[in-house]
Each structure stands twice: as C-alpha cells, then as structure tokens.
C-alpha cells in the first residue's frame, strides 16, 4: 500500500480522497465545516455553488421535493454573483484544507466566458462549467443538450482560463459520448458525469406541480444506474485522451463509489446523500479502504476503468 491509497490525481491536482462535494449541496463550502464530527480530511475537493455574472434570486418556492428514491430540486441558480463570491466568500475559505472548484453558469456564451475569466484570477484550483443552463439567445435551448453549443461554451471558457476546466455533462441528450468528444476537442480537461435528470411531481389534491418551477432536476439513488452507464460511455471516449471523470449520481455508499470508479471515474461526487447523512463521506472512504486492502490494490488508479479489463 502507498502512503495514501485514497489519493487521486485529477487534472494535475492532488485530491486527498476521491470524494468531491457537489455544487449546490454544500453552499460555498464553509457551511459544511460547521457539522459536528466532520473533517475536511475526508474530502478531495468541493465544488462551489453555481455562480453567474450577476446576482440571481432563483425560482419561486417550492424548490425541493422528496421523491421515493431521491429528490427533485429547482433552485434556479440563486447566488450573489461572481464578484461577491470572489471578493467576499473565497477569502473565508481555507485552501490549505482541500481543493475548491468554482462552478460557472450562464445564459449566454459571453456570460460563461466573463465569469470564467474572473475566476481565473481567483485562488480556486479548477473551474467546472455547468452547460445544462438554457441559452436565452437560442430560445431557451440548453447548451448541454447540443454538442455544437457545448463545444462553443467549452472553447470560450478555455480561452478565458489556464486553470483545469471540468465540463459537467447533461444526461438529457441523445449521445453523451459524442458530446464528450466535442468537448475534448474544444479543450476540456475533465468531466463531471452526470448532472440531474429532468422530472416533476404533482399534488393530486390541488392538481398543481409541487415545484414552483413545475419541473426540476432529479438526483439521488433513483438515477444511479443511469449515471453509472453514462460515466462508462464517457470513459470510452475520454480514456484515450487521459481526461479524468468525476462520476456522480445517486452515490450513497462505498459500494456505489467503487462501481463508478470501476466504470471509469477517477473521483466520485457526493450530493443528495449529504442531506440525510452529513458524515457519509467518512463512511465511504472507510469502505473503499477496506476494499483496496481486501483485494491487495495499492491505489485507486489501478481500479479506474477496470471494468474494461474483464
């Protein structure tokens, strides 16, 4: 065993563990540190809350609805705007404890580029671009569901930063592997696979949607089989270019995390599970370590993509 078998290399960054706290689930990171029993030693990186050029109030309530095997959310990218995040929030984060990844959202390519350029001048170690936002200049068509538009966003952000660029791919598209290929050509350094699936829930008493936005993103255990398949599909494209993947979607145990790593993920994202077990990251790390010891595997790198070897 090496000194830290949980350590992974992701886009030339060293994560102490493979666990990444997903954007929108822990605010801007500092909120999670107030939980009794939590230690940043369990975390490889934190994806900050989605940030836009100007402040956004988000969607009307209700914004969250629990489903039998997960959660629907329609927050609407509520955030204080990129300048406030950089000037007020980032100085309060401890960059010696873990890696912090900015999450960039926008309604136009120009907005993506602008926010990315500002984060490039900040202390964040990497930038994730959420291409599941609707392009207002294209009548609300989501960037991430169109390979051409996805590639254009990635190319614009690539020109705006030298920091590692991670593209968060949408599952709500025809061919996620083709989208990944186009994003690689445009200059992405890594992927986050997948974002939420779109869904809704209806109150049969009022005959109205539970969410104020009518529809929202479905996360949690219900989407895990889909996320696992999408991760493996993207890995088939990314492995030849040494593009790492954060596998995410319904992970709530060490076994779940190991499945994603075997399917091709270098790191794993934890989100919805934090809502009902804030200390789950410690348990997942413990389970992964036990698995590595049981199978005499010295590092997670040996396990990544091992599904292809059998």
Point out the catalytic residue in the list 11, 25, 99, 133: 133
From residue 163, alpha-carbon distances to 90, 112, 123, 236 in Å are 16, 15, 10, 25
Other CB atoms closer than 10 Å to residue 136's CB: what's the count? Answer: 12
Verify whether residue 133 is a known catalytic residue: yes
Determine the Cα–Cα distance for residues 106 and 143; give it in Å rounded to an integer. Answer: 10
Determine the Cα–Cα distance for residues 112 and 115; give it in Å rounded to an integer. Answer: 5
Helix and strand element counts for the chain (H, E): 8, 18
Distance from first CA to last CA of the chain, Å, rounded? Answer: 23
Other CB atoms closer than 10 Å to residue 78's CB: what's the count? Answer: 15
Supply angle C-alpha 146, 152, 157, rounded to 5: 130
Active site residues: 133
């Amino acid at each position: 065993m090496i000194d830290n078998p949980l350590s992974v290399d992701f886009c030339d960054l060293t994560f102490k563990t493979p666990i990444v706290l997903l954007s929108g689930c822990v605010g801007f990171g500092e909120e999670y540190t107030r939980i009794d029993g939590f230690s940043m030693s369990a975390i490889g990186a934190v994806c900050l809350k989605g940030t836009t050029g100007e402040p956004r109030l988000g969607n009307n309530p209700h914004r969250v609805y629990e489903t039998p095997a997960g959660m629907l959310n329609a927050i609407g990218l509520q955030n204080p705007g990129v300048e406030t995040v950089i000037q007020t929030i980032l100085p309060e984060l401890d960059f010696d404890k873990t890696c912090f990844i900015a999450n960039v959202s926008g309604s136009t390519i120009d907005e993506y580029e602008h926010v990315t350029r500002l984060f490039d001048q900040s202390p964040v170690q990497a930038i994730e671009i959420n291409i599941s936002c609707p392009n207002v200049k294209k009548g609300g068509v989501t960037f991430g569901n169109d390979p051409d538009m996805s590639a254009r966003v990635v190319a614009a952000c690539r020109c705006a930063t030298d920091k590692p660029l991670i593209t968060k791919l949408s599952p709500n598209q025809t061919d996620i592997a083709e989208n990944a290929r186009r994003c690689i050509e445009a200059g992405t350094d890594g992927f986050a696979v997948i974002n939420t699936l779109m869904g809704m829930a209806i109150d049969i008493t009022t005959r109205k949607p539970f969410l104020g936005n009518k529809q929202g993103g479905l996360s949690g255990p219900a989407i895990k089989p889909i996320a696992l398949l999408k991760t493996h599909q993207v890995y088939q494209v990314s492995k030849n270019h040494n593009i790492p993947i954060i596998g995410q979607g319904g992970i709530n145990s060490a076994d779940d995390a190991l499945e994603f790593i075997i399917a091709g993920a270098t790191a794993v994202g934890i989100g919805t599970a934090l809502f009902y077990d804030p200390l789950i990251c410690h348990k997942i790390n413990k389970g992964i370590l036990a698995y590595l010891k049981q199978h005499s595997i010295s590092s997670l790198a040996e396990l990544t993509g091992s599904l292809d070897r059998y």
